[in-house]
Chain A
Amino acid sequence: MVEAEVHDLKVGTPPLQVLILRDSKDENVGPVADAIVRAFQGSADATGYIATGPGVGVTPEVFEPEFLDPELVDQERLHDTSLVGRVGKKLDAACHTLVIVLIGQRLHETIHDRESPFLRDWLSDCWSHVDQSDDRHRMLVFPRDESMAERFSRLPGLQYLQVWPLDKFDEYALRATMVALMALHHARLLLALPLEDSNPSRGRPQGNLRFFISHAKLDALPLAQALRAQIERIPWLDKFYDADDLLPGSNWRRELEKGVASSLIIVLRTDIYDTRYWCQQEITWADQYSTPAVLVDVRTALNNESSALPFTRLPVARVPDGNLMRILSIALREGVKYLLFKRRAEEMRRSGILPPNTELKVFSYPPSMRALLHACRSLVTSKHAATAKQVILYPDPPLPEAEHEAALALIAKFAPNVTLTTLQTLATSA
């Protein structure tokens, strides 16, 4: 069989794939696997603490251990793209791969089966590849409890792989959610590290994400403080996520503009939010600078007046039940979505679908007219305007026809050399 040389194909390498290994008959890890799948691909199921809604655009692949047994696989079959014997090729098929192993009783027994070492060997090969990947890939292992974790860590070739026993993850009811958040967090780190603008220079670790909380102090302080406390009580979250107030003035505007990939705005929309000058400015600038953002609607009235503020593009969380994890899951998801989209755009440039000198303006959501206007003005005055192909990219599906025509008219007037398009439109025209 001729191996395809995919590197010179003009299709780009997908930025991220998520692989989950679990035994479906292990009942206590089933909810954890489900929570991870829902965190990435979205769900309408409101059970648990993970937010509903669309996912980040990554469909996790879920594997059973028996399918890693080489005796079950015909290696002579053409195009058998299973994981057996080709774990490196599978992991390297994307820019980054996040491998998640959920160990319940059955998987634990299979791993330690003396007669049949296939799963131990596979895990060792996988970890070896991940370990040598220079942080390109990650492997997260979640044994059911500490004693399983200890036995796992004594396996040859796996001693240096960090494991997280599930029984250390807070209350039982929260464990699936916490693991799913950790998976989103690690996915975000994988995507963020190669990007310069995702690494703020404040003595914080690479990949740090700043949650800027936009709120009216008169009635949102308790919620803002509770959210900050929620982040601080989770050690792995606290190390990487700051929750700061947005300070009045223009300093944070520049910081937002420079550090879009390392910033996310959480808007606490209380009853008086819309009437406060600085709140209006913050949400307007977030729209203008295309900063990822999440809206937490905590207004108490049963009906509200319409608003001219740009809330429509934001994912919305409500917390009548006090579930602040819902806010965190949406926020992390938005952070991952933004980075995924930005990396896909970079891959388009790297693979030649976009010329190398393309100047890109990337939106992780369908842009408003205000945001488009700001982008046009920014591109027209850019130092590369005369020499670079300039493209505004936003996610699929393409805008509805009327909005698309309006956007084209705006661009034709303010930045006639700029192209507005989506990634799949670029793929279709490749």
Chain B
Amino acid sequence: MTYRLLQGCYVGISVSESETSSRRGFPPAQVNRATFDIAAALVGQGARVVFGHDWRPDGIMEAVCRIALLTTPEILTGRPEDAHTIENLLPWPPGEEYLEEKDLDRLNAIVRIKQLDLPEGLSEFQRADIGKGPFKDYLRARGLTHLRRALDEHTHARVCFGGKTRNYQGRYPGIFEEAYFTVLSRKPIYLAGSFGGATAELIGAVMGKPMPEALENESHRMREIYRSYADRERGADTSGDRVVNPKVIWSTFQELGLSGLSELNRLSEKENLALFESLVLERTINLILAGVGRLSRASRDRDSRE
């Protein structure tokens, strides 16, 4: 088979600017462009891409929707199941996506957009008028964790680029948490170092480096908030999500190591190192395609044996 080798594969994309992406030659417009290139490459090979990105006026989602406009499988194959090459999950609270209803309707044929609620244990606050303040921050952070759990359930693999390490809204930097859940699920993850940021930090953990103090320090504020409000949530199965401890994430990636990462994502250790260090986007994309392609082939081989 030499056509659309990633059909049936859902790939989560965790991409955003980092504090150093501009220094690396990727100011915000170029981050959007690179996101487009990565998503287009995956969609071109038949994959579906899944984002947990809200519709801030930073252009990433608009850029990504252009891919779907360029490749509209439903029109070309006539099969409704081929629609929606892009899926977008939105965290609580709703109404902050910066898109009007008519725009969401227009995009609905291209992008499957799903608005998530708060976890069940916080459902009483779903529509409450909370106002601003630390409890709202707690709820927003819980909403983000709930989103990231859903993203993990919904995808077969994850690609990580960049990501902030400071001034984040969740209990952890977004890419940290998304990557963490992926690894806990023993799903393949691709860590591209080009944009630096949270992804570069995770690469450091994989390579055995100690966690920088700055990451620990950044988590203090959310740790205090979680201590204050975690017991307002019911449900034992979310107790792990109501604790802030970045060391847990760090040690998970340290224990994974390069060999564990390679086992998960089907890239050799050398290929993973090249992905960590790649200075050219084209090579980064080709490495990711190689890894996801091997997974897809292995999955098809398993299915055909069964």
Chain B residues within an 8 Å CB radius of A10: 290
CB pair B204 A79 closer than 8 Å? yes
- Among A4, A19, A401, the residue within 8 A (CB) of B25 is A19
From residue A20, how far is it (CB to closest CB) to chain B in Å? 8
Task: Tell me whether A11 and B45 are in contact (CB under 8 A).
Answer: no
Which of B251-306 touch A at CB < 8 Å?
270-271, 273-274, 276-283, 285-287, 289-290, 292-293, 296-297
**Partner among B23, B207, B279 whose Cβ is within 8 Å of the Cβ of A67:** B23
A14, B200: Cβ atoms under 8 Å? no
A93 interfacial by beta-carbon distance below 8 Å: yes
Closest to B212 in A: A77
A167 within 8 A of B: no
- A364 interfacial by beta-carbon distance below 8 Å: no
Does any Cβ of B come within 8 Å of A201's Cβ?
no
Interface of B is mostly: helix
B12 close to chain A: CB less than 8 A:
no
Quick one: given A428-B289, A428-B292, are A90 and B279 in contact (CB under 8 Å)?
yes
Question: Quick check: B194 and A2 within 8 Å, CB to CB?
Answer: no
Given contacts A11-B283, A61-B24, A428-B6, contact A80 B200 (CB under 8 A): yes
Stretch with Cβ within 8 A of B (4 or more), from A130-138, A212-220, A256-264, A418-426? A418-426
In the assembled complex, the CB of B275 is this many whole angstroms from the nearest CB of chain A, namely: 9
- Mask: chain B, 62-82; 1 = CB below 8 Å from A; 0 = not: 000000001101001100000
| Bound-complex Cα distance A357 to B285 (A) | 26
CB pair A430 B41 closer than 8 Å: no
CA–CA, A4 and B279, complex, Å: 12
Q: B208 → chain A, closest Cβ, in Å?
A: 10
A252 to B: closest C-beta gap in Å: 34
Given contacts A79-B203, A424-B286, A428-B5, contact A11 B271 (CB under 8 A): yes
B30 beta carbon closer than 8 Å to chain A: yes
Chain B neighbourhood of A11, CB < 8 A: 271, 274, 283, 286-287, 290
Residue-wise, chain A 379-403 has the 8 Å CB interface mask toward B (1 for contact) of 0000000000000000011101110
Q: Is the CB of A61 within 8 A of B26?
A: yes
Task: Please give me the residue from chain B that is nearest to A90 by CB atom.
Answer: B279
Total interface residues on A, CB under 8 Å, equals 53
A63 touches B23 (CB 8 A): yes
Residues 80-104 of A, flagged 1 when their CB comes within 8 A of B and 0 if not, give 1111000001100110000000000
- Chain B, residue nearest A44 (CB): B66
The answer to whether A200 has its CB under 8 Å from any CB of chain B is no
**Using Cβ atoms and an 8 Å threshold, which residues of chain B touch A301?**
none
> In chain B, residues 139-184, which have Cβ atoms closer than 8 Å to a Cβ of chain A?
none
Q: A280 an interface residue at 8 Å Cβ cutoff? A: no
Are B274 and A6 in touch, CB under 8 angstroms?
Answer: yes
Least distance between B160 CB and chain A CB atoms (Å): 13
Most chain A CB within 10 A, of B27, B207, B277, B287, is at: B277
Q: Within A1-52, which residues are at the interface with B (CB < 8 Å)?
A: 1-6, 8-14, 17, 19, 41
Tell me if A397 and B71 are in contact (CB < 8 A): yes
Contact between A424 and B33, CB atoms less than 8 A apart:
no
CA distance A366 to B39 in the complex (A): 20
Shortest CB-to-CB span from A101 to chain B, Å, is 14
Let me know if B91 is at the binding interface, CB within 8 A.
Answer: no
Q: Which residues of B1-33 have CB atoms within 8 Å of chain A's CB atoms? A: 2-6, 20, 22-27, 30, 33
The answer to the question of B246 belonging to the interface, with a C-beta cut-off of 8 Å to chain A, is no
Interface of A is mostly: loop
A62 touches B194 (CB 8 A): no
A401 — which chain B residues lie within 8 A by C-beta?
3, 73, 76-77
Nearest to B199 among chain A residues (CB) is A79
- The residue in chain B whose Cβ has the minimal distance to the Cβ of A403 is B76
Smallest beta-carbon distance A79→chain B, Å: 4
- Closest-by-CB residue of A relative to B36 is A59
A62:B270 contact, CB within 8 angstroms? no
Shortest distance in angstroms between B301's beta carbon and chain A's nearest beta carbon? 13
Cβ-defined contact, B5 with A429, below 8 A: yes
A421 to B: closest C-beta gap in Å: 5
Complex formed: what's the CA distance from A82 to B18 in Å? 13
User: Pick the contact of B44 from A4, A9, A17, A424 — CB < 8 Å?
Assistant: A424
Q: Which residues of A contact B279 (CB under 8 A)?
A: 17, 81, 89-90, 93
Contact of A4 among B30, B45, B70, B274 (CB under 8 A): B274
- A164 smallest CB distance to B (angstroms): 22
Q: Are B30 and A81 in contact (CB under 8 A)?
A: no
A427 an interface residue at 8 Å Cβ cutoff? yes
* Contacts known (A11-B290, A421-B2, A425-B3); A67 close to B203, Cβ less than 8 A: no
**In chain B, what residue has the closest Cβ to A76?**
B209
Is B196 in the interface zone, CB < 8 Å from A?
yes
Q: How far is the CB of A100 from chain B (nearest CB, A)?
A: 12
Is B34 located at the chain interface by the 8 A CB criterion?
yes
CA distance A420 to B297 in the complex (A): 19
The smallest C-beta distance from B166 to any residue of chain A, in angstroms, reads 15
A356 to chain B, nearest CB (A): 19
The 4 closest A-B pairs by CB, nearest first: A61-B25, A397-B44, A67-B23, A428-B293
Residues of chain A having any CB pair with chain B under 8 Å: 1-6, 8-14, 17, 19, 41, 59-64, 67, 72-73, 77-83, 89-90, 93-94, 396-398, 400-402, 404, 419-422, 424-425, 427-430
Contacts A2-B273, A82-B20 known; list 7 others, CB within 8 Å: A11-B286, A13-B283, A14-B283, A80-B196, A83-B25, A89-B279, A425-B3
A-B CB contact pairs (8 Å), 19 listed: A2-B273, A4-B274, A5-B270, A6-B283, A10-B290, A11-B287, A12-B283, A12-B286, A17-B280, A72-B23, A78-B204, A79-B193, A398-B4, A401-B3, A424-B286, A425-B5, A428-B45, A429-B5, A430-B289
